[in-house]
A and B are shown apart, each in its own frame.
Chain A
Amino acid sequence: MKLSAVTWACSVALAAACLGAVVLAQSQAPPAGMPNVSGTYSGRRCVPANSDVCPEMNARGAERLMTARGKALIAAFDEVAAPKYDCSPATLPIIFGDPWAVKIEQLPDRVNFTYEKDDVTRTVWLEGKGHQPPRNGLLFMHGYSTGRYEGNQLVVETSRFTFDPEGYAGDAINAPSSTQKRLVERYSRQADTLRLELTAEDPVFLIGPITYTMELRVTAEPLSLPWGCDPEAAQRNLHVVKSKYPQDPPIIRKNPR
């Protein structure tokens, strides 16, 4: 009797595990007729590796690709003023500069992106599904994204970004992006490799479009969420940062609850 109860419990647990696996597999599969880009991906690498802009703009890229006003802003910027020290999430495309995982879920009328870094979630509204764009004047940290399928690719176009002092690079380079930033991302998947071809245009800060290609690999590891940025830990990084403007009064940061 005892053995059969154990056996029964094991069977139920096994069935639940199998059901969970099926549900997980189903939730990661795209609706019929769409190219499959669903999955959780990590281990990003740039193709080729020695790019001035991938995974984020380096100093040489900033010198070569930023407009004069962009370079002037870089020169004036003080690391202490970076919003990340208040746990402000990374925008696009700078979010690809960090090696954290991303999950893509394809739904019939939209595609959801969840980034491990900064708990960022992003909805790509598929064209032709009756979605209304936001009203004029609304800008978003991660922009407003629409998408469509072309052949084996998911094509995502994003605009309506807010200004970001680290839109193309952070960490001492601080290459800004403007409200005129527009991104086109093309995602395709072959076996366990997701390929992203990214183009960014920004007539305020870029002298021309920048493009790069990045590949990520499917991972079985779930996203480590929540990211849960801690403002105290973020601001503590400033202990080792020298202010460019020591004549200013010290910044007493208050962390909202």
Chain B
Amino acid sequence: MMKTSALVAAVILCSALDAGAHHGQVGLFDDARITELKAVVKRWIFTNPHPILVVEAADEKGVKADWDVYFGPAAVPSLRRQGFSIETFKTGEALVIKGHPATSGAPGLDVLGKGTGVVRADGRAVP
């Protein structure tokens, strides 16, 4: 059931939240908004300059798209120190992701700061 509901991904736009300063990717993401995705992992690109999690999620109309999830300006060394590794995400894994949406309108999220995060299907936060 959980798997099914995760596969039927949804996008929920949430209210404004204070997320603090954003360094390194100035203006690319809307720090005042949080978007929540119920998504499935397609790729975990754990390389420099910035690791990217590619997930599939659908909007309110059920239209699926690939979303790129960033972790701020972090690179591999800093994400390793936070506990991430190349094994952190598996293709096909269901996740709930909260992040700041791209200001360009492109399907991209930035997971950085207050109110953002990645949670596995069993409720565990990542990393």
Contact = CB atoms under 8 A, between A and B. Distances in A.
Interface of A: 84, 87, 98-100, 116-117, 171-173, 224, 227-230, 232-234, 236-237, 239-242
Interface of B: 24-29, 45, 47-52, 68, 70, 73, 75-78, 80, 102-108
A241 B70 CA distance: 13
Contacts, number: 67
A116 B48 CA distance: 11
A231 to B, nearest CB: 10
Contact of B77 (A172, A173, A224, A230): A224
Contacts of A116: 77
A230 B29 contact: no
Given A100-B77, A116-B77, A224-B76, A239 B49 contact: no
A227 to B, nearest CB: 5
A228 B48 contact: yes
Nearest to A90: B49
Contacts of B102: 240
Contact of B106 (A224, A227, A233, A240): A240
Given A172-B26, A172-B28, A241-B28, A236 B52 contact: yes
A54 to B, nearest CB: 13
Contacts of A242: 103-106
Contacts of A117: 75
Given A100-B77, A233-B52, A172 B68 contact: no
Contacts of A98: 24, 73, 75
Contact of B68 (A87, A100, A229, A240): A240
Contact of A171 (B26, B47, B104, B105): B26
A224 B80 contact: yes
